[in-house]
Structure 1
């Protein structure tokens, strides 16, 4: 269950123009939503995404489970993905996961509420893994790298996300990485002709940075 974006504290991006221009376009996180399968773990390389990754991002988001478990609309073309990767908003970090040189997953990490200075310590993320690569550690690799950046380089005290309430594998992944459920949003999004609930989850930095030496006295 290692695999599994409009998100803020309650799971919603409040500026539609920013939501439309985000690098990967999904803020609900996507993971395998079917029965758990024991699959061989892949050797995953996580790197910063580039515009040339647009075709692979589009392919990932066109797979049925990735489509169903995010907020993406169907039939987005490659050029739209290329534009999103080229014009990601300030403060965003977009990661790509490669297996044997092929991009099979992505994650965007971004300020949860860039309009409010008092929430500068909070980040959010959204990710997706191609259907045929779910359950092989791709999601864990992406999330691990994102949390390393958030904890050690971005000054994030809190990382938050929204996930569909019926996406058990994704929820299990996040719990494994220290996230807890903070609330439930009823009829959060229209999905395949039915409204679906979402869970708000968050993780606090397990070891917040301290001042060095005498400054800590």
Structure 2
């Protein structure tokens, strides 16, 4: 399933507020996203991947995720400071998808994660018609877990020793949100 929102040239930002624009990821965002993905905090709390050596390596990885994805960035003053991705599944899981979210350390606690998540969930509910959205989050990432719970996600399972950090292991939670079909999708236009 390919999700096709308006082109960036026709719609410079899906959402604009207090200097933040939510827009589709563009090729020009490579350097800023490399900084985000390689930040110490992001490496600790946000990903199981190793650091990327270059923008090209990051682009190869993003391309490897396939075309059936919707990618957005939180843009402040022309620089991507947050990243969000929605990937619908296929075949017998075509009613479901997964999300991935990250915000630069310097821009945390400014509701950028909430704005990105709100856009991803509205896309999942309205454009893609998904009924289930899931994600994986490290069990010690309390800030992210609180954010996801505010948007209706619940912990469905625990993956013990999911990731090794040096000599220690960290667990991860699988969280999911089921979209009730009651007219207005849950969280799609919820003020966060």
TM-score by length of 2: 0.80
Superposed CA RMSD in Å reads 2.0
Q: Distance in 1 between matches of 2:35 and 2:76?
A: 15
* Residues 44 and 141, structure 1, Cα contact 8 Å, conserved in 2: no
Which residue is 1:46 aligned to?
A: 22
Task: Tell me, yes or no, if structure 1 residue 91 matches structure 2 residue 64.
Answer: no
Structure that is richer in strand per residue: 2
Alignment check: 8 A CA contact 1:44 1:99 kept: yes
Aligned residues: 167
Unaligned runs of 5+ in 2: 1-16, 185-192
Q: Which runs of 5+ in 1 are unaligned?
A: 1-40, 211-217
Between the aligned partners of 2:86 and 2:104, the Cα distance in structure 1 is 18
User: How much has 1:208 moved relative to structure 2?
Assistant: 5.5
- Rounded to whole Å, the distance in 1 between the matches of 2:71 and 2:28 is 13
Distance 2:18 2:49 in 1: 26
Of 14, 31, 41, 1:65 maps to 41
Answer yes or no: is the 8 Å Cα contact 2:83–2:103 preserved in 1. Answer: yes
* Structure having greater relative contact order (Cα 8 Å, sep ≥ 6): 1
- Could you tell me how far apart the structure 1 residues matched to 2:102 and 2:109 are? 12
| Pick aligned residue for 2:142 from 158, 168, 182 | 168
